[in-house]
Amino acid sequence: MSEQQAQPSGPDLTKGVSFTDLTHGKLIGHVGDEDVLVVCSGGGIFAVGAYCSHYHGPLADGLVEGTTVRCPWHHACFDLRTGEATHAPAFNPLSCWQVEQRAGRIFVSGRRAGAPARQAPAGAPERIVIVGGGAAGFAAAEMLHRQGFAGRITMLSADADAPVDRPNLSKDYLAGSAPEEWVPLQSDGFYAQRAPCRDGGRRDPSL
């Protein structure tokens, strides 16, 4: 869903930046050809991908509060410690980068792991049925998976297609500036891979 920047932004973060280079606790720079946002807030220094995983909103212009950053475009929220998308409309995490402080400067090196895999609590049901195959239904299924739910999820929908980004339909897609592959919230392969079942995770048109 995102377009790549032609030129990386700001300073080369592997060479280090000074705390005074940060404006309101934020600085956009790059590591290789990837734009990275450095944030000093909530008692830590964090480096994450500089653009929102929803529609590439500029997180450097976002609102930082404690260990979170909120996208200025549609207000998705990300945990700076793990990159995790904690509020819709973003689902995918931001990349996370290793930060070091040396001689009063901030250095960003390679990528680091994001949120660790979770395990569903004991006693979680074996099967969950979600009624509605829109954004809310998709978000529920995606969060169950993220929380470690390993059972079977059935989504009941009156739609012929898997969950789509409805707001996009009447805007960029209609204007011709968004390709068709941006419309589904995830590809068919995503469902088959994450919820393997007897029918390979395919949709049942009779539902």
Residue 169 CB, nearest approach to ligand FAD (Å): 5
For residue 83, state whether it binds ligand FAD (rule: CB under 6 A).
no
For residue 170, state whether it binds ligand FAD (rule: CB under 6 A).
yes
For residue 135, state whether it binds ligand FAD (rule: CB under 6 A).
yes
Q: Which residues on adjacent β-strands are paired with residue 133? A: none
Residue 194 CA to residue 107 CA, distance in Å, equals 36
For residue 160, state whether it binds ligand FAD (rule: CB under 6 A).
no
Residue 62 CB, nearest approach to ligand FES (Å): 8
Q: Record the tokens describing residue 20, joined without a space.
A: 């005074």
In this structure, the strands spanning 77-79 and 85-87 are antiparallel
For residue 129, state whether it binds ligand FAD (rule: CB under 6 A).
no
Residues between 60 and 119 that touch ligand FES (CB under 6 A): 71, 73-76, 89-90
CA nearest neighbour of 152 among 198, 207, 92: 198
CB-CB contact of 120 with 149 (8 Å): yes
Where along the sequence are the contacts to ligand FES (CB under 6 A)? 52, 54-55, 57, 71, 73-76, 89-90
